[in-house]
């Protein structure tokens, strides 16, 4: 089963966000606090697609408001992009986690969960009609560009796609948070900022 059966008519962003609250297309809704739908205006020129809500996003109900979101905000600022001008969403709209003692251990969404959630993402793209889509990390790239796509090989390249006039993939901001060395982390941040600036630029 996928989320197609939950899509509203007409599929405006507001209606999509409301309908997604009740999505049970995959088992992840059972343990997540809530659906975290995308955020931004229809007509936003730039759409950023992440993996899934994190812990804080799951509690607050908004995408990219935790540590990875703060880093993304910083990178967007350095790239000269106003977060409010972009539409931010995730490939999977529920947090996947399992308990370990008192902690919530995040899981990576599997191919079935990504597929089940894809109709929401495709409907968001159709409603927003972005000029540029940026896949942040492997899960977003897998959802939109297929499982053969490798961010490590093809990051920062324009990808031929029917989804939007310009589509590009780069790393997920949480990968930068995992880099231990300050110098290495700074270099990775600069490379991420360069990808975002290229995505937001006029030439494609």
Q: Determine the Cα–Cα distance for residues 84 and 176; give it in Å rounded to an integer.
A: 23
Q: Which listed residue (35, 52, 142, 170) binds ligand URA by CB under 6 A?
A: 52
Q: Which is nearer to ligand URA, 9 or 173 (CB)?
A: 173
Told to check if 170 binds ligand URA by CB under 6 A, we report no
* H/E stretch holding 133: strand 132-136
- Number of residues in contact with ligand URA under rule CB under 6 A: 13
- Strand 158-159 to strand 166-170: parallel, antiparallel, or no bridges (unpaired)? antiparallel
| Closest C-alpha among 63, 70, 108, 65 to residue 87 | 63
Q: Which helix (H) or strand (E) holds 107?
A: none
Which residue, 36 or 167, has its beta carbon nearer to ligand URA?
36
- Interface with ligand URA, residue 167, by CB under 6 A: no
Nearest CA to 52 out of 80, 26, 73 is that of: 26
Q: Based on the shown chain and the rule CB under 6 A, indicate whether residue 37 belongs to the binding site for ligand URA.
A: no
In the complex with ligand URA, the residue whose CB is nearer, 40 or 63, is: 63
Is residue 124 at the binding interface for ligand URA, with CB under 6 A as the rule? no
Characterise 23 by phi-psi region: left (phi > 0), alpha (psi -120 to 50), beta (else): beta
Among 7, 25, 37, 50, binds ligand URA (CB under 6 A): 50
Site string for ligand URA, 54-83 (x = CB under 6 A): x--x-----xx-x-xx--------------
């Amino acid at each position: 089963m996928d989320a197609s059966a939950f899509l509203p008519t007409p599929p405006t962003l507001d209606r999509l966000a409301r309908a997604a609250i009740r999505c049970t297309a995959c088992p992840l809704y059972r343990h997540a606090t809530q659906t975290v739908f995308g955020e931004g205006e229809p007509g936003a020129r730039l759409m950023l697609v992440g993996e899934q809500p994190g812990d804080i996003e799951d509690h607050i109900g908004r995408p990219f408001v935790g540590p990875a979101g703060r880093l993304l905000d910083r990178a967007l600022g350095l790239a000269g992009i106003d977060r409010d001008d972009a539409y931010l969403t995730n490939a999977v709209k529920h947090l996947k986690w399992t308990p370990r003692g008192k902690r919530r251990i995040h899981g990576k969404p599997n191919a079935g969960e990504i597929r089940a959630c894809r109709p929401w993402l495709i409907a968001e793209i159709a409603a927003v009609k972005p000029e540029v889509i940026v896949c942040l990390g492997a899960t977003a790239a897998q959802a939109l560009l297929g499982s053969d796509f490798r961010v490590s090989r093809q990051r920062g390249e324009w990808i031929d796609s029917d989804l939007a006039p310009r589509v590009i993939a780069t790393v997920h901001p949480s990968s930068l948070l995992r880099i231990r060395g300050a110098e290495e982390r700074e270099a990775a941040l600069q490379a991420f900022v360069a990808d975002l600036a290229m995505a937001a630029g006029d030439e494609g």
